[in-house]
Chain A
Amino acid sequence: MSRCYRISVSESLRRHVDVEDGIETHLELLDILPPEQMRELVSDQLAGLGYTSEDDKTWTKTLDNGVTITVDLEEGTVHIGLAAEEDLDLELKRSTSAVEETRERTERSLREKTRADLEREADAATEALRVEVTRRLEESLENLRRELDTAVNRATGEALKIKAGQLGEVQEISEDPETGAVTIRVKV
């Protein structure tokens, strides 16, 4: 008669995971002035909003929640992204019973199953982190859209004033701070 054995296995998994999410969009600039001048005006606005640049072409800002905004004025693109990392340290114990004849095979099978379960847990933890990153990113999007629209609108307003000055004598400028509308009276 075969003896019955209790088999216990313990597996652990350590993994460093990096997740990131982001979108790329375009910055719509009207060509009221030559492109270099338009870029300069937008740069001024971005600087006022806390963006920094080392080459006056790419402007970046990182929000408190880690979201990074990169504005490439030459390409006219905006990248909004967030990355996160985490060290996973997972451990799983499993036990089962087996008879003498199947002891080795049962242990091997249990160990494989435990490892597969650990992999699944690690994947689930990675996915949960990615979902959290996406959620934080989405929370920031609406404000960022407004912020960038404001920067572009103000730069456009400034460009219109300069253009109006080139066309003739500017007699009156009125701005509606709520809508951002600019009215310029020019004597040509």
Chain B
Amino acid sequence: MNVARSEGQLLTLARALVDGTHPAVIAPLLGDAQPLAPAIGPTAMGVLQDTLAKGTVLTLVRNSGWRVQRRPRGGELVEGRLWERHPAPALRFSKWSYQVLRMLVTNALVTECKAPRAPSAPGDGDRILALLVARTLVTLGYENALAAVEHEPLVQLAFPWWVQPVEVDWVGFLRERTWMIEGLHDLIAQAWIDAEREKLGTRSPGRLLAGSTRQAAVLHGYLDAITALGRPDLADVLMTVGEVLVPDPFAPVLSIVHRDLDPTASLRERTEATRASGPLLDALLRVQQLVAHDRTVRFFDDDYEATQERLKRWEQFNRVRSGTDDGSDARIAAIRRAREQLHA
């Protein structure tokens, strides 16, 4: 199969984005503007469509779809891997997917970036590709170019620390796409872990406050939506982040308490930024309240099984044994202490 050299670059990039290649590996393909003919040939287009279709499915499988889980669906719990719990989704790609890949190849991402117009009716394939593009841009530090994907709710959900906020109807977005959150669990969790680590190195109170405020808005919208849709189990992505950020709840929780802001900034700015910097902690404390409600569900109630499944995950999140301490509620207690430190 023959394709032009410039088409080959586009295809290599598309393949690297969807097959889990670390963004650093494809760094040489990005950054500088590369020539690309105004249109690609039918052979290259066919390969591109095939790569994206198979690659996004692979992304879903690798980022948690492979796990056997019990998740609610249509009023009952269904056990199995992602494709056993849900019917196969139609992963449609619009012209936008092609345009955004072209943008990555033909623009000097460091300086300026002509982003394609956001699709009016994005396909689910477009959405997953937008998330993968965002991950690459964030990892490589091309924050300028994130404007091309910030319209996508999945990008807002995973990368609020980096992207400008857009209004999202979370209930509308999630209603038919809970499978997407289930399948992209690891990728979203990793994005939050990276954001919290980047946050710790932030010296500017303004940046800390702005990023944290965006995170808080997204978490608020997301938790409201999954509660309204009767899917609080989807908060498990936040627990995964909490488990990594507080690996040892019995140690001082320095890893999530910001304390290195520019000392020449005013005390008011620093205090305000520090107090706002724990939206993830607030969100986990809110999850605890949801769990408290789950404990009141009786065995003959309709959603007893689903609540028991959520409680099991919560206990797994919390139970961290240490010496003679049985570790009940250890992690959430550490998170509460960390939050108190932020507000001290």
| A131 and B264 form a contact (CB under 8 A) | yes
Among B113-121, B134-142, B266-274, B314-322, which stretch is in contact with chain A?
A: B266-274
Residues of B within 8 A of A (CB): 264-268, 271, 344
| A23 and B264 form a contact (CB under 8 A) | no
Main secondary structure of the interface of A (DSSP, over half): helix
> Is A126 part of the binding interface, using a Cβ–Cβ cutoff of 8 Å?
no
What would be 12 A-B contacts, judged by CB atoms less than 8 Å apart?
A21-B266, A22-B267, A22-B268, A23-B267, A23-B268, A23-B271, A25-B344, A131-B264, A134-B264, A134-B266, A134-B267, A137-B267
Q: How many A-B residue pairs have CB under 8 A?
A: 17
The residues in A between 113 and 170 inclusive whose CB is less than 8 angstroms from any CB of B are 130-131, 134, 137-138
| A138 and B264 form a contact (CB under 8 A) | no
| A21 and B267 form a contact (CB under 8 A) | yes
* Contact residues in A for B268 (Cβ distance below 8 Å): 21-23
Q: Which of B266, B268, B271, B344 gathers the greatest number of chain A CB atoms within 10 Å?
A: B266
**A-side interface size class:** under 10
* Contact residues in B for A134 (Cβ distance below 8 Å): 264-267
B259 CB to closest chain A CB, in angstroms?
Answer: 14
6 closest A-B pairs by CB: A21-B266, A23-B271, A21-B267, A134-B267, A131-B264, A134-B266
The CA-CA distance from A130 to B270 in the complex, in Å, is: 14
The CA-CA distance from A130 to B268 in the complex, in Å, is: 11
List the A residue with the shortest CB-CB distance to B344: A25
The residues in A between 11 and 26 inclusive whose CB is less than 8 angstroms from any CB of B are 21-23, 25
Interface contacts beyond A21-B266, A22-B268, A138-B267: sample of 7 additional A-B pairs, CB < 8 Å, sorted by A: A21-B267, A23-B267, A25-B344, A130-B266, A134-B264, A134-B267, A137-B267
* Contact residues in A for B267 (Cβ distance below 8 Å): 21-23, 134, 137-138
List the B residue with the shortest CB-CB distance to A145: B344
* Contact residues in A for B271 (Cβ distance below 8 Å): 23
The CA-CA distance from A25 to B267 in the complex, in Å, is: 12
A123 CB to closest chain B CB, in angstroms?
Answer: 14
